[in-house]
Structure 1
Amino acid sequence: MIASSKLQAGALFPSIELLTVQDELVDLGYVPTQEHWKLIVIYRGVHCPLCRNYLETLNCHLQDLERLGVSVIAASADSERKARQQVDQSELDLMLAYGLNSEQMQSLGLYISNPGASPRRERPFAEPGLFLINEEGHIQLVDISNSAYCRPAIPMLIQGIQQMREHETPVQGTYEIYAQI
Structure 2
Amino acid sequence: MSLQAKLDAFKADFEAGKPPYNVPASVIEIMHRATAELIASGAAGNALKAGDTAPSFILNDPDGAPVSSSELLAKGPLVLSFYRGVWCPYCNMELQALDAALPAFRRLGANLIAISPQTAVNSRRSVRQNNLDFPILSDVHNDIAAAFGLRFIMPDYLVQLYTSLKNDLPSFNGDDSWTLPMPGRFVIGQDGVILYAEVNPDYTRRPEPEDMLPALRKAAQSISG
Q: Which range, TM-score by smaller chain? A: 0.7 to 0.9
Structure 1 residues not aligned, in runs of 5+: 169-181
| Residue number in structure 1 paired with 2:77 | 37
Q: How many residues align?
A: 165
- Shift of residue 81 of structure 1? 1.9
Answer whether contact 2:51 2:193 (CA < 8 A) is retained: yes
| Residue number in structure 2 paired with 1:25 | 66
- Structure with the higher fraction of residues in helix conformation: 2
Call closer, same or farther: CA 1:30–1:116 in 2, change over 3 Å. farther
- TM-score between both structures, scaled by the size of structure 2: 0.64
Is 1:70 aligned to 2:125, yes or no?
no
Cα RMSD (Å): 2.4
Worse-superposed segment, 137-146 or 112-121:
112-121
Of 182, 187, 190, the match for 1:135: 190
| Residue number in structure 2 paired with 1:173 | none
Q: Secondary structure at the match of 2:112?
A: strand
Hey, what's the Cα distance between the residues in 1 that align with 2:82 and 2:207? 12
Answer whether contact 1:9 1:142 (CA < 8 A) is retained: yes
Is 1:116 aligned to 2:159, yes or no?
yes
Q: Secondary structure at the match of 1:137?
A: coil
Is 1:6 aligned to 2:60, yes or no?
no
Call closer, same or farther: CA 1:32–1:55 in 2, change over 3 Å. same
- Shift of residue 161 of structure 1? 3.2
Call closer, same or farther: CA 1:99–1:153 in 2, change over 3 Å. same
Structure 2 residues not aligned, in runs of 5+: 1-40, 171-177
Worse-superposed segment, 5-14 or 130-139:
5-14
Is 1:148 aligned to 2:203, yes or no?
yes
| Residue number in structure 2 paired with 1:90 | 130
Hey, what's the Cα distance between the residues in 2 that align with 1:31 and 1:87? 20
Identity fraction in percent:
24
Hey, what's the Cα distance between the residues in 1 that align with 2:58 and 2:134? 17
Q: Which amino acid aligns with 1:65?
A: F
- Structure with the higher fraction of residues in strand conformation: 1
- 4+ residue runs over 6 A deviation: none
Call closer, same or farther: CA 1:73–1:102 in 2, change over 3 Å. closer
Call closer, same or farther: CA 1:38–1:142 in 2, change over 3 Å. same
Q: String of CA shifts for 1:13-45, please: whole Å, max 9, x gaps.
A: 112221111432123455443x61001100111
Hey, what's the Cα distance between the residues in 2 that align with 1:42 and 1:111? 10
- TM-score between both structures, scaled by the size of structure 1: 0.78
Answer whether contact 1:44 1:126 (CA < 8 A) is retained: yes
- Shift of residue 66 of structure 1? 0.4
Call closer, same or farther: CA 1:162–1:109 in 2, change over 3 Å. closer
Call closer, same or farther: CA 1:113–1:134 in 2, change over 3 Å. same
